[in-house]
A and B are shown apart, each in its own frame.
Chain A
Amino acid sequence: MSTSTKRPQRLIQGNEACAHGALYAGCNFYAGYPITPSSEVMEILSTEMPARGRTFIQMEDEIASISAIIGGAWGGGKALTATSGPGFSLMQEGIGYAAITETPCVIVNCQRWGPSTGQPTKGAQGDVMQAIWGTHGDHPVIVLTASNVRDAFEMTVKAFNFAEEHRVPVILLLDEVLAHMRENIDWPEPGEIPVVDRARPASAKGFKPFENNTFLPFGAGARFHVTGLAHNADGFTVGDEAAARELRRMVGKVQSKVRELAMFDRLRLDDATLGIISYGITSRPAAAAVEILRSEGIRAGLLDLKTLWPFPDHLVREVADRVDRIVVPELNMGQMVREITRSVGGRCEVQPCTRIDGHLLTPAQIVEAAKATLAADGSPGQRPIGCGTCCSERTVHS
C-alpha cells in the first residue's frame, strides 16, 4: 500500500474504516442489530446513510438483519450488515439462504472471544471455521480478513466487489482489537480503489435469475422466483442430479476463482527458511517477529493472508516448497493451522502458535514458537512444541 505525505490522512478506528469503506463501495442498504465490538459500524452508518440518501434500518435481531439485507439486495440495494459472534451465529440461517439464492451481500463479523457471550470486549480469531462452514450444507462463500485499519477500509470495498461480481455472500472477519484500534491512514480518493457493480443482463426479457452472475432486482421488468429450495436457472424447484449440478455450479463458481480472489501480503519470504503464515490482527506481531528473528540470524518471512476462503493452497504451497518450517500464529485453539497443514501436505513441518486469553500474541511469543522448532544450531529441529493452549509438548492437536 502506497504512502505519500501529500495524501489526506485520517486518524480513525477499524470500525470507522469499515463503515467508510462501505460508503465508498456504494453500499446503500444497511440493516443490523447492535453488538459489541461491531456497533460503531452501525452507529456511523445510522447518520451517514440517510445523509447520502441511502437506507438504514435497525432490526429486531440478527436473523431479521440478515433477512432484511437479502431482501434489500433483491429490492436493488448494495447491502451490508455488521455483527459479532452471538449475532453471527444467528445469521447462519440467512447466510445459507444468501448462498443458495446467490444474493450479493456483505456480512462483517468483528470477532470477539467466544463461545456464547464469552468476553464481549476481548479480541479473538475463533470464528474462522464458522465463517467458512457455519451454515448447513455445502455452499459458496468468500471469507476475507484485515490486519490494519487501512485494510479494514479496503477489504470492505473488496468484499462488496467480490459479492457483486460473483453474486455470493462475502464475510469480512475483523476482530475486537482492530475494530477499536486507531491508526492514521491514507484516505482513499474516489476512484483509487476500483468499485464493482453487479452485471445486468442485456435485457429483462427472458432473464433467468440463476443462470449466471447477471442480476436484476424485483420490479425491473422481469418477474421471477427466488427460493431457498434447490432450484434451476429459473428459480423453480429441482431434485436429484439437477440439484447436484446446481450445487456444484454454485460452489464451483467461487472455488474456480481461488487465484483471482486470493489477496495477501508477503514479507521477506524470498530467502526465508522459516515461514510464518498469519492473517488478520495477528499479522502485526507476526511481522515484528520476522524482524526479530532476522536480527538473530534466522531467515524468517511472512505470508499474511487476507482471503481465507476459498483457501489459497497455491500461496501456502509456494511457501512450503521454500522453507523448512511454517509457524501459524492465531487467536484460537488452532483453526487455520489445520487448513494450512492439509495444504502443506508434508512438504515441511507446521507449528501452531495460539493464544486464547483475549490478548494478542506478542512478537516474542511468535519468536519463541518459531525458535522452538529449530535445533540449537539454528537448523530445522525435530521437536514440535505444544500449541500453547491445549497441547502438551509432543501431542500437537492430534
Chain B
Amino acid sequence: MSETYRQFLRASQLPHVWCPGCGNGTIVKAFLQAVEDLKLEQDRVVVVSGIGCSGRTPFVLDFNTMHTTHGRAVAFATGVKLANQGLHVIVIMGDGDASAIGGNHFIHACRRNIDLTALIFNNGIYGLTGGQLAPTTPTGKRSTTSLAGNIEPPFDIVRLALGAGAGFVARTTSFDHKQMTSLIRRAIQYKGFSVVDIMTSCPTYFGRMNDVAEPYDMVHYLRDTTSPMQDCTCRKSEHSCETDHEHEHAEQLAEELGVELSPTGVFREEARTDYGTLYMRKLEAAVAARNGRGGAS
C-alpha cells in the first residue's frame, strides 16, 4: 500500500467489508489520490455517506466521517457544510440511495448549488440488500426482484443532475482509474454542487444476475458499455464528438450487451455563485441593516 493512501485510511477498520472484485475500492483509491493531489487538509475533509455497500466507505477513511440514513446523505451534508463552510464536504451515495429513496434530496441539492461534491457509486443494483432492482438497473437486466428482466426504464443520473440544474456534472467508471481520478479532482475543485456518476461493478449481484459474474468480465462490461466523450458522436447528451467510426463501434458493443451506451467525461462545468456565498452576502446585508437600525432585540 502506498503512503498516499495509508495516511488517509483507518487501519483499525481494515479489511473493508466489500466483496472481492467490487469496484468500490478502486473508487476510493481515485478519491484519495484526488484528495492528495489537491492537498486538502485532512482535518477539514468531511465524508458523508448514506446506506448501502457504498455507504460503508467512510468507515475506512481517516477524515471526519458520517454514515447517515438511506438516501439522506446529501441533506445531512447540507447541514454540515452550512454550519461550517470551511469544511470540504464529500457526499458518497449509492445509485439507489441517490436516485430512489434520496431522489428528492438529490434533485434539490442539484438545484440549490451548495458547495458539496457528490460521488455516486452507481452499480445499477441494490448491493447491500442483496441485488434488488434499482432505478438505474437497465431495462431487461435481472435482479432478485426482476428475475424475468426489468420492465422499467432506468434513470440516467447524469441527465437527472443536468435537468435538476447541477453546475458540474460528470460520468466516469471504476474501470478507468485515470479519468476517474481527474474527474473527482475537478469535481472537488468546483465551487458549487458537483456530481460524479461513477459506474462501478458489483460482480456479486449485478454480475451474477446478468452473466458477468467474474470480476474481470464485469470490468470489461463497464468498459464496453461506456465511451469517453472524445470518441463519441452521440448527440443524445450534451457533449461533442470526434470520430464517427469509434462511436459506432462503442454503440454496437453496448447494444450487444443489451444496454444503451453511456458516454463518460464532463457534461457541464459552469461557473456560478454557490449557495453559501449567496447566503453570506444576504447575511452581511441583513446584519448591516439590523445594526443600522440600532441593534437587535
Contacts and interface: CB of A to CB of B under 8 A. Distances in A.
B77 interface: yes
Nearest to B107: A60
A71 B64 CA distance: 12
A70 interface: yes
Interface size classification for chain B: 35 or more
Given A50-B286, A223-B63, A225-B58, A67 B79 contact: yes
A53 B283 CA distance: 6
Given A29-B79, A229-B67, A223 B43 contact: yes
Interface in B14-67: 42-44, 46, 48, 58-59, 62-67
A72 B72 contact: no
Contacts of B67: 225-229
A64 B108 contact: yes
Contacts of A63: 72, 75, 105
Given A59-B75, A69-B79, A219 B66 contact: no
A362 interface: no
Nearest to B282: A50
Contact of B77 (A47, A71, A73, A229): A71
Contact of A219 (B10, B64, B69, B290): B64
Closest 3 CB pairs of A and B: A71-B79, A75-B83, A72-B79
Given A93-B69, A225-B65, A59 B78 contact: yes
A76 B289 contact: no
Nearest to B76: A71
B209 interface: no
A43 to B, nearest CB: 15
Given A71-B77, A72-B79, A223-B43, A218 B287 contact: no
Nearest to B281: A50
Given A50-B286, A72-B82, A60 B105 contact: yes
23 contacts: A31-B78, A31-B79, A47-B286, A53-B287, A63-B72, A64-B104, A67-B78, A68-B76, A68-B79, A71-B48, A71-B68, A71-B75, A74-B66, A75-B79, A77-B79, A79-B79, A217-B83, A218-B66, A218-B80, A223-B43, A223-B62, A227-B59, A228-B69
A237 B55 CA distance: 14
B79 A226 contact: no
A94 interface: yes
Given A29-B83, A71-B79, A219 B46 contact: yes
A53 B83 CA distance: 11
Nearest to A29: B83
Given A70-B76, A71-B76, A75-B83, A51 B44 contact: no
B104 A61 contact: yes
B65 A74 contact: no
Interface string A189-230: 000000000000000000000000000011101011111110
Contacts of A50: 279, 282-283, 286-287
A94 B82 contact: no
A51 B84 contact: no
B81 interface: yes
B2 interface: no
Interface string A124-141: 000000000000000000
A60 B43 contact: no
Interface string B74-109: 011111111110110000000000000000110010
B59 A71 contact: no
A68 B78 contact: yes
Given A76-B83, A226-B65, A219 B76 contact: no
A307 B243 CA distance: 72
Nearest to A231: B67
Nearest to B58: A225
A217 B289 CA distance: 31
A236 B12 contact: yes
Given A67-B75, A225-B58, A236-B12, A219 B82 contact: no
B271 interface: no
A68 B287 contact: no
Given A71-B76, A226-B67, A236 B104 contact: no
A10 B279 CA distance: 31
A311 interface: no
B296 interface: yes
A251 interface: no
B4 interface: no
Contacts of B86: 219
A178 to B, nearest CB: 22
A348 interface: no
Contacts of A74: 66, 79-80, 83
Contacts of A237: 59
Contacts of A71: 48, 66, 68, 75-81, 83
Contacts of B287: 50-53
A329 B265 CA distance: 65
A136 B279 CA distance: 36
A255 interface: no
A188 B51 CA distance: 44
Contacts of A69: 79
A181 interface: no
